[in-house]
Homo-oligomer: A and B are copies of this chain.
């Protein structure tokens, strides 16, 4: 199949690359804002990046180590150590050295974390739904499919 863009007409700031960046940054900004202004969550001062980690933890059925989390969301290991520090100091999760392998840090949500997560998820869902206003279900599925195909092409 032929290339999508060619040298004569390719406008870096009109194409898929530019749009992806813009949409992604607007989406994160909107999520940060929504988490910051939600009455139930404001006191926790959760950033979008922190939500991602909490969500990965809450929705994973298997036990999670720090490195599991890194792999799951493509995050740097050093950054993850500090991310866990921040979330631990907020009381949303806790570390435990795993007894059978004391190298690994087992991470789990606290009661507070379990209590706050559903609200975070609701807020995040609201933001995404707002960005998809006017989309039919079929269009949303197609968009997901396009993005998945791009991801496969990346490898």
Q: Chain A interface (Cβ within 8 Å of chain B)?
A: 1-7, 10-17, 19-28, 30-31, 51-52, 55-56, 59, 72-74, 121-122, 124-125, 127-137, 139-140, 142-144, 146-151, 153-154
Contacts and interface: CB of A to CB of B under 8 A. Distances in A.
Contact of A125 (B10, B128, B139): B10
Given A20-B24, A121-B12, A132 B74 contact: no
A23 B150 contact: yes
Which secondary structure characterizes the binding site on chain A? helix
> Copy number of this protein in the oligomer?
2
Contacts of A1: 133-136
B27 A20 contact: yes
A83 to B, nearest CB: 15
A142 B151 CA distance: 17
A131 B150 contact: yes
A151 B13 contact: no
A53 to B, nearest CB: 11
Contact of A135 (B4, B20, B121, B122): B4
A134 B149 contact: yes
